[in-house]
Protein backbone atom coordinates (compact mmCIF):
# COMPACT_ATOMS: atom_id res chain seq x y z
CA UNK A 1 0.00 0.00 0.00
CA UNK A 2 1.03 3.62 -0.43
CA UNK A 3 3.09 5.22 2.29
CA UNK A 4 3.62 8.93 2.76
CA UNK A 5 6.56 9.97 4.88
CA UNK A 6 7.37 13.40 6.21
CA UNK A 7 10.20 14.41 8.52
CA UNK A 8 8.93 13.16 11.84
CA UNK A 9 11.22 15.42 13.84
CA UNK A 10 10.32 19.04 14.35
CA UNK A 11 12.33 21.50 12.28
CA UNK A 12 13.78 24.43 14.19
CA UNK A 13 15.25 27.31 12.22
CA UNK A 14 16.24 30.93 12.70
CA UNK A 15 14.10 33.72 11.35
CA UNK A 16 15.22 34.77 7.89
CA UNK A 17 16.55 31.35 6.91
CA UNK A 18 14.98 28.99 4.38
CA UNK A 19 12.97 26.08 5.76
CA UNK A 20 12.92 22.90 3.67
CA UNK A 21 10.39 20.18 4.41
CA UNK A 22 10.36 16.76 2.76
CA UNK A 23 7.54 14.50 1.62
CA UNK A 24 8.42 11.02 0.35
CA UNK A 25 6.02 8.48 -1.04
CA UNK A 26 6.32 4.85 -2.06
CA UNK A 27 5.05 2.91 -5.04
CA UNK A 28 2.94 4.88 -7.49
CA UNK A 29 3.51 8.51 -8.34
CA UNK A 30 0.65 10.81 -7.45
CA UNK A 31 -1.13 12.76 -10.15
CA UNK A 32 -1.07 15.79 -7.85
CA UNK A 33 0.52 16.70 -4.60
CA UNK A 34 -0.85 19.35 -2.28
CA UNK A 35 0.68 21.07 0.71
CA UNK A 36 -1.38 22.33 3.64
CA UNK A 37 -0.60 24.25 6.79
CA UNK A 38 -2.18 23.31 10.11
CA UNK A 39 -2.08 25.47 13.24
CA UNK A 40 -2.81 23.90 16.65
CA UNK A 41 -6.53 23.25 17.12
CA UNK A 42 -7.38 24.42 13.59
CA UNK A 43 -8.22 22.76 10.30
CA UNK A 44 -5.65 22.39 7.52
CA UNK A 45 -5.33 25.32 5.12
CA UNK A 46 -4.41 24.78 1.47
CA UNK A 47 -1.14 26.35 0.35
CA UNK A 48 0.06 24.97 -2.97
CA UNK A 49 -0.60 22.23 -5.51
CA UNK A 50 1.88 20.72 -7.95
CA UNK A 51 1.07 18.36 -10.80
CA UNK A 52 3.16 15.33 -11.74
CA UNK A 53 4.33 16.99 -14.96
CA UNK A 54 5.52 20.11 -13.11
CA UNK A 55 8.97 20.33 -11.58
CA UNK A 56 8.41 23.42 -9.49
CA UNK A 57 5.67 25.78 -8.30
CA UNK A 58 6.02 29.09 -6.50
CA UNK A 59 3.73 31.36 -4.51
CA UNK A 60 5.25 34.37 -2.78
CA UNK A 61 7.82 32.97 -0.30
CA UNK A 62 6.74 29.38 -0.89
CA UNK A 63 8.21 26.94 -3.39
CA UNK A 64 7.32 23.32 -4.02
CA UNK A 65 9.31 20.87 -6.12
CA UNK A 66 8.26 17.45 -7.32
CA UNK A 67 10.72 14.74 -8.34
CA UNK A 68 8.95 11.63 -9.57
CA UNK A 69 12.27 9.79 -9.94
CA UNK A 70 13.15 10.29 -6.28
CA UNK A 71 9.45 9.97 -5.30
CA UNK A 72 9.79 13.14 -3.32
CA UNK A 73 8.38 16.62 -2.95
CA UNK A 74 10.23 19.42 -1.20
CA UNK A 75 8.49 22.42 0.32
CA UNK A 76 10.55 25.55 0.87
CA UNK A 77 9.74 28.69 2.83
CA UNK A 78 12.24 31.44 2.13
CA UNK A 79 12.92 34.36 4.49
CA UNK A 80 11.05 32.47 7.20
CA UNK A 81 9.19 34.34 9.94
CA UNK A 82 7.95 33.27 13.39
CA UNK A 83 4.42 33.43 11.95
CA UNK A 84 5.37 30.54 9.64
CA UNK A 85 5.58 28.26 12.69
CA UNK A 86 2.99 25.52 12.16
CA UNK A 87 2.67 21.92 11.05
CA UNK A 88 2.93 21.38 7.30
CA UNK A 89 1.11 18.47 5.71
CA UNK A 90 1.65 16.93 2.31
CA UNK A 91 -1.21 15.17 0.56
CA UNK A 92 -0.66 13.28 -2.67
CA UNK A 93 -3.65 12.44 -4.85
CA UNK A 94 -3.36 9.21 -6.78
CA UNK A 95 -5.19 8.41 -9.98
CA UNK A 96 -8.43 6.58 -9.35
CA UNK A 97 -8.80 8.03 -5.87
CA UNK A 98 -11.21 10.78 -6.78
CA UNK A 99 -10.23 13.73 -4.66
CA UNK A 100 -9.75 11.82 -1.44
CA UNK A 101 -6.69 13.34 0.20
CA UNK A 102 -4.50 11.11 2.31
CA UNK A 103 -2.29 13.24 4.50
CA UNK A 104 1.18 12.60 5.72
CA UNK A 105 1.80 12.89 9.44
CA UNK A 106 3.14 16.41 8.95
CA UNK A 107 6.30 18.21 9.94
CA UNK A 108 6.21 20.77 12.73
CA UNK A 109 8.19 23.89 11.87
CA UNK A 110 9.33 26.32 14.57
CA UNK A 111 10.88 29.60 13.41
CA UNK A 112 12.79 31.36 16.18
CA UNK A 113 13.37 35.13 16.26
CA UNK B 1 -13.58 34.93 2.02
CA UNK B 2 -16.20 32.17 2.32
CA UNK B 3 -15.45 29.52 4.89
CA UNK B 4 -16.60 26.16 6.16
CA UNK B 5 -18.24 26.45 9.57
CA UNK B 6 -18.61 23.66 12.10
CA UNK B 7 -20.72 23.40 15.23
CA UNK B 8 -20.29 22.83 18.06
CA UNK B 9 -16.62 23.61 18.56
CA UNK B 10 -16.49 21.19 21.48
CA UNK B 11 -18.83 18.30 22.29
CA UNK B 12 -18.61 16.13 25.38
CA UNK B 13 -20.66 12.96 25.45
CA UNK B 14 -20.89 9.73 27.37
CA UNK B 15 -19.90 6.42 25.89
CA UNK B 16 -22.81 4.81 24.06
CA UNK B 17 -24.56 8.08 23.29
CA UNK B 18 -25.32 9.32 19.80
CA UNK B 19 -23.73 12.55 18.57
CA UNK B 20 -24.34 14.66 15.51
CA UNK B 21 -21.62 16.97 14.28
CA UNK B 22 -22.73 19.75 11.98
CA UNK B 23 -21.06 21.54 9.14
CA UNK B 24 -22.03 24.28 6.71
CA UNK B 25 -19.83 23.90 3.61
CA UNK B 26 -18.99 26.76 1.27
CA UNK B 27 -22.15 27.56 -0.67
CA UNK B 28 -21.09 26.79 -4.25
CA UNK B 29 -19.14 23.66 -3.32
CA UNK B 30 -20.54 20.30 -4.35
CA UNK B 31 -18.21 17.80 -2.68
CA UNK B 32 -18.09 17.26 1.03
CA UNK B 33 -15.76 15.35 3.32
CA UNK B 34 -15.24 14.37 6.92
CA UNK B 35 -11.80 13.82 8.39
CA UNK B 36 -10.74 13.14 11.94
CA UNK B 37 -7.55 13.74 13.90
CA UNK B 38 -6.86 11.90 17.13
CA UNK B 39 -4.72 14.00 19.44
CA UNK B 40 -1.09 13.93 18.31
CA UNK B 41 -1.84 11.86 15.22
CA UNK B 42 -2.36 12.59 11.55
CA UNK B 43 -5.46 13.84 9.79
CA UNK B 44 -7.37 10.75 8.58
CA UNK B 45 -9.96 10.51 5.82
CA UNK B 46 -13.39 9.23 6.85
CA UNK B 47 -15.80 9.80 3.99
CA UNK B 48 -16.53 11.81 0.87
CA UNK B 49 -20.04 12.74 -0.27
CA UNK B 50 -21.49 14.00 -3.53
CA UNK B 51 -24.95 14.26 -5.01
CA UNK B 52 -26.54 12.95 -1.83
CA UNK B 53 -24.54 9.80 -1.64
CA UNK B 54 -21.24 8.55 -0.31
CA UNK B 55 -18.48 8.55 -2.96
CA UNK B 56 -15.86 6.83 -0.90
CA UNK B 57 -15.28 5.83 2.70
CA UNK B 58 -12.39 4.54 4.76
CA UNK B 59 -12.20 1.46 6.98
CA UNK B 60 -12.72 3.76 9.97
CA UNK B 61 -16.17 4.72 8.67
CA UNK B 62 -18.04 1.66 9.89
CA UNK B 63 -21.75 1.10 10.56
CA UNK B 64 -21.60 3.38 13.59
CA UNK B 65 -21.07 6.37 11.31
CA UNK B 66 -23.46 8.00 8.88
CA UNK B 67 -23.54 11.23 6.91
CA UNK B 68 -26.41 13.27 5.65
CA UNK B 69 -27.15 16.48 3.81
CA UNK B 70 -30.56 17.18 5.34
CA UNK B 71 -31.09 20.46 3.49
CA UNK B 72 -29.32 22.69 0.99
CA UNK B 73 -26.73 23.99 3.41
CA UNK B 74 -25.92 21.55 6.22
CA UNK B 75 -23.78 18.42 6.13
CA UNK B 76 -23.81 16.21 9.21
CA UNK B 77 -21.80 13.34 10.65
CA UNK B 78 -23.63 11.06 13.07
CA UNK B 79 -21.95 8.60 15.38
CA UNK B 80 -24.62 6.22 16.63
CA UNK B 81 -23.05 4.80 19.78
CA UNK B 82 -19.88 6.57 20.72
CA UNK B 83 -16.81 4.76 22.03
CA UNK B 84 -13.89 6.16 23.98
CA UNK B 85 -11.69 5.80 20.90
CA UNK B 86 -13.98 8.13 18.93
CA UNK B 87 -12.52 11.03 20.92
CA UNK B 88 -10.84 13.23 18.32
CA UNK B 89 -11.10 16.44 16.32
CA UNK B 90 -13.52 16.02 13.46
CA UNK B 91 -12.99 18.23 10.44
CA UNK B 92 -15.50 18.90 7.72
CA UNK B 93 -14.20 19.98 4.31
CA UNK B 94 -15.66 20.92 0.96
CA UNK B 95 -14.36 21.39 -2.56
CA UNK B 96 -15.85 23.00 -5.61
CA UNK B 97 -15.01 20.01 -7.76
CA UNK B 98 -13.87 16.43 -7.43
CA UNK B 99 -11.34 16.95 -10.17
CA UNK B 100 -8.00 15.61 -9.11
CA UNK B 101 -6.18 18.15 -7.09
CA UNK B 102 -9.10 20.42 -6.32
CA UNK B 103 -8.11 21.98 -2.97
CA UNK B 104 -10.14 21.15 0.09
CA UNK B 105 -11.41 23.89 2.35
CA UNK B 106 -11.55 22.79 5.96
CA UNK B 107 -13.54 24.02 8.90
CA UNK B 108 -11.90 24.48 12.28
CA UNK B 109 -13.28 21.27 13.61
CA UNK B 110 -15.38 19.89 16.44
CA UNK B 111 -13.45 18.46 19.33
CA UNK B 112 -15.37 15.37 20.46
CA UNK B 113 -14.62 14.04 23.93
CA UNK B 114 -16.18 10.71 24.87
CA UNK B 115 -16.14 9.93 28.59
Q: What pLDDT does residue A97 have?
A: 53
How far apart CA A41 and CA A34 sit, in angstroms, is 21
Interface residues from chain A to B (CB-CB < 8 Å): 31-32, 34, 38, 41-46, 49, 51, 89, 93, 95, 97-106
* Chain A, nearest residue to B31 by Cα: A99
CA distances in angstroms from A20 to A6, A30, A36, A40, A55, listed in the order given: 11, 21, 14, 20, 16
CATH number, domain of A88, equals 2.60.40.10
Mean pLDDT of B31-56: 94
Q: What pLDDT does residue A96 have?
A: 60
CA distances in angstroms from B55 to A29, A30, B47, listed in the order given: 23, 20, 8
Q: What percent of chain B has pLDDT over 90?
A: 83
Q: What pLDDT does residue A52 have?
A: 85
Mean pLDDT of B35-53: 94
Is the pLDDT at A53 greater than 80? The verdict is yes
Mean pLDDT of A9-14: 92
Number of domains in chain A: 1
Is the pLDDT at A98 greater than 70? The verdict is no
Tens digit of each residue's pLDDT (9 = 90 or more) over B88-104: 999 999 998 766 668 89
Q: Which of residues 5-64 of B touch A (CB under 8 A)?
A: 31, 33, 41-45, 48, 55-56
Is the pLDDT at A57 greater than 80? The verdict is yes
**Domain span at A94:** 4-112
- Supply the mean pLDDT for chain B: 94
**Domain span at B24:** 5-98+105-114
Q: pLDDT class for A28, splitting at 50, 70, 90?
A: confident
How far apart CA A103 and CA A44 sit, in angstroms, is 10
Mean pLDDT of A86-103: 80
How far apart CA A105 and CA B39 sit, in angstroms, is 12
Q: pLDDT class for A101, splitting at 50, 70, 90?
A: confident
Is the pLDDT at A72 greater than 70? The verdict is yes
Tally Cβ neighbours within 10 Å of residue A14.
9
Contacts of B40 (CB under 8 A, 6+ apart): none
Tens digit of each residue's pLDDT (9 = 90 or more) over B10-28: 999 999 999 999 999 999 8
Number of domains in chain B: 1
CA dihedral A37, A40, A42, A47 (to 10 degrees): -10
Least confident residue range of A10-19, A64-73, B76-85: A64-73
Amino acid sequence: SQKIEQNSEALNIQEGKTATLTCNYTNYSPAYLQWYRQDPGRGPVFLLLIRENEKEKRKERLKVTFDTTLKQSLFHITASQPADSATYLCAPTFSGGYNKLIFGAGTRLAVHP
Amino acid sequence: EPEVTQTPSHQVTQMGQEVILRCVPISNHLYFYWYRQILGQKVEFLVSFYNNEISEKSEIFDDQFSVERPDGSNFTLKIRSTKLEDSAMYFCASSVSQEFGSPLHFGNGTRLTVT
